[in-house]
């Protein structure tokens, strides 16, 4: 049963922010399935990427080390968007999947769960997903979060 199908866009100004997405889990849920996907993954414009790196060096690298960092900036390319997911039930934290994959297929059931998520009772009631937009380096980054239930053992 489909619980949520949310699509949106993020931009660089959304970096270092979180989007909390509440949803309601009904009775008799055997398995909770989640799919997070976003694109593009990689910033393809080298000049833009190098400028972003230089700007970050001005913020995060000591002045005496910046020249070396700029000269070796290519080792940090390509720059990539990073969006991750955390899950909470009515009682609190059920795990986090802080992976770099731009498509993440995840699940939770009473007996097992995807790495990073905790298996256990799927209590009916309010749940939430938190999308963490760690870094958005492209002008826009489209994302989609799908949540649905199935019987345990099925996809």
100-122 per-position pLDDT tens digit: 999 999 999 999 999 999 999 99
3 state SS of 60 = helix
Centroid of chain to Cα 81: 10
For residue 60, give every residue at least 6 positions away whose Cβ sits within 8 Å of its Cβ, in sequence order, or none: none
Residue identified by tokens 């002008």 is: 139
20-71 per-position pLDDT tens digit: 999 999 887 899 999 999 999 999 999 999 999 999 999 999 999 999 999 9
- Measured between its terminal Cα atoms, the distance across the chain in Å is 11
Could you tell me the pTM of the whole model? 0.91
Question: Which domains does the chain show, CATH number per domain?
Answer: 2-42+80-150 (2.60.120.380), 46-76 (no CATH)
- What tokens were used for 42? 């990689």
- What tokens were used for 136? 């958005």
């Amino acid at each position: 049963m489909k619980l949520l199908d949310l699509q949106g866009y993020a931009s660089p100004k959304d970096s270092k922010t979180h989007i909390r997405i509440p949803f309601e889990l009904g009775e008799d849920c055997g398995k909770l399935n989640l799919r997070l996907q976003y694109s593009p993954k990689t910033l393809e414009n080298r000049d833009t990427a190098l400028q972003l790196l230089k700007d970050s060096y001005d913020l995060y690298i000591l002045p005496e080390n910046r020249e070396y960092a700029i000269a070796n900036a290519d080792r940090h390319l390509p720059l990539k968007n990073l969006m991750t997911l955390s899950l909470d039930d009515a009682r609190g934290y059920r795990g986090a999947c802080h992976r770099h994959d731009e498509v993440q297929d995840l699940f939770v059931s009473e007996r097992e769960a995807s790495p990073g998520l905790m298996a256990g009772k799927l209590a009916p009631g309010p749940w939430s997903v938190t999308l963490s937009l760690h870094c958005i380096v492209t002008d826009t980054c489209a994302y989609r979060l799908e949540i649905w239930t199935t019987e345990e053992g099925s996809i």
